[in-house]
């Protein structure tokens, strides 16, 4: 393995503590030439599905890298820490469903190991694997270490995967789970952007009316628009407002559009 010049970090650590800086520091001490990209540290605490969606929708736009994901409500329990090899990079984090969607974007899992090497992780904290397991493993992979140096090979089929989100459609209608709500209140659905073509020019969402469009300004100010977003997912927005508030939805809810 030749190594990577870049390392990305996606967590739910927030910005008010020193957790992110500690992870940066571990990488900087071990691999000072590796450049780091902070994807986000504002994943809602413990929200694995949101972290998985953000990671999967971002890694394809980054340079080949080691990608660390830490949204880990099971830290210190029997859940595994893993590293996944893919054609487009290495993913490091907990085995709780966070990493497989990003692995699919990067070409699929070509190898997987459990992070258990006592030489690599001599005395990790029970509660801060981001600093003591995932960051040092990522630094070593960036420097060119092989996956198998970090621990035993595991069958990719045994990796924890999140349930498939709800998406069904019929003649002129569809029902789709809310995947994410972004900083602006835009509601991203578990439906491909191509589903937009199968809806009429005016779309009903419960008691609300929306227009079918291509961008936010295609609806009058304060009104709803249904469009294919930059991740090629069907999404609902309000021109100048928050669709999540207007519709009263959060991730995991199911919307019917017709």
What are the tens digits of pLDDT across the range 170-226?
999 999 999 999 999 999 999 999 999 999 999 999 999 999 999 999 999 999 999
**Residues with Cβ within 8 Å of residue 87, at least 6 apart in sequence:** 106, 107, 108, 110
> What token pair was written down for 69?
């994901």
- Quick one: CA torsion of 229, 43, 84, 60, rounded to 10 degrees? 30
Angle at 207 between CA 213 and CA 50, to 5 degrees: 65
pLDDT (0 to 100) of residue 17 = 98
Q: Write the CA distances from 227 to 172, 186, 201, integer angstroms.
A: 16, 11, 11
Cα–Cα distance, 69 to 94 (Å, whole number): 8
List the beta bridge partners of residue 187. 181, 236
Instruction: Specify the domain boundaries for CATH 2.40.30.90 within the chain.
Output: 167-257
- Average pLDDT of the residues of the chain: 97
149-175 mean pLDDT: 97
Q: Give residue-wise pLDDT tens across range 100-126.
A: 999 999 999 999 999 999 999 999 999
34-60 mean pLDDT: 97
Q: Name the CATH superfamily for 167-257.
A: Bacterial fluorinating enzyme like (2.40.30.90)
Q: Give residue-wise pLDDT tens across range 63-110.
A: 999 999 999 999 999 999 999 999 999 999 999 999 999 999 999 999
Instruction: Specify the domain boundaries for CATH 3.40.50.10790 within the chain.
Output: 6-158
The packing angle between helices 135-142 and 19-30, to 10°, is 30
- Pairing outcome for strands 35-40 and 65-70: unpaired
Neighbours of 189 (CB within 10 A): 27
**Residues with Cβ within 8 Å of residue 216, at least 6 apart in sequence:** 225, 227, 237, 239, 240
Indicate the CATH number of 6-158 among 3.60.20.10, 3.30.450.40, 3.90.1200.10, 3.40.50.10790.
3.40.50.10790
């Amino acid at each position: 393995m030749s190594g990577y010049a870049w390392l990305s970090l996606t967590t739910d650590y927030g910005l008010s503590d020193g957790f992110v800086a500690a992870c940066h520091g571990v990488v900087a001490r071990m691999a000072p030439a590796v450049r780091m990209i902070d994807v986000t540290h504002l994943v809602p605490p413990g929200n694995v599905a949101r972290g998985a969606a953000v990671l999967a929708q971002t890694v394809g736009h980054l340079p080949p890298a080691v990608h660390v994901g830490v949204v880990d409500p099971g830290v210190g329990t029997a859940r595994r820490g893993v590293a996944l090899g893919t054609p487009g990079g290495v993913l490091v984090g907990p085995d709780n469903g966070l990493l497989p969607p990003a692995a699919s974007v990067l070409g699929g899992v070509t190898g997987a190991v459990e992070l258990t090497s006592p030489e690599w992780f001599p005395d990790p904290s029970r509660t801060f694997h981001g600093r003591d397991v995932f960051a040092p493993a990522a630094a070593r992979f960036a420097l060119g270490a092989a996956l198998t140096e970090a621990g035993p090979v595991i069958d990719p089929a045994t990796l924890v995967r999140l349930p498939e989100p709800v998406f069904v459609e019929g003649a002129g209608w569809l029902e789709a789970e809310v995947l994410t709500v972004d900083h602006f209140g835009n509601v991203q659905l578990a439906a491909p952007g191509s589903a937009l073509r199968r809806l009429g020019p005016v779309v009903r969402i419960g008691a609300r009316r929306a227009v079918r469009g291509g961008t936010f300004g295609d609806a009058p100010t304060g009104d709803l628009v249904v469009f294919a977003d930059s991740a090629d997912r069907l999404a609902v927005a309000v021109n100048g407002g928050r669709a999540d508030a207007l519709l009263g939805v959060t991730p995991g809810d199911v919307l019917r559009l017709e």
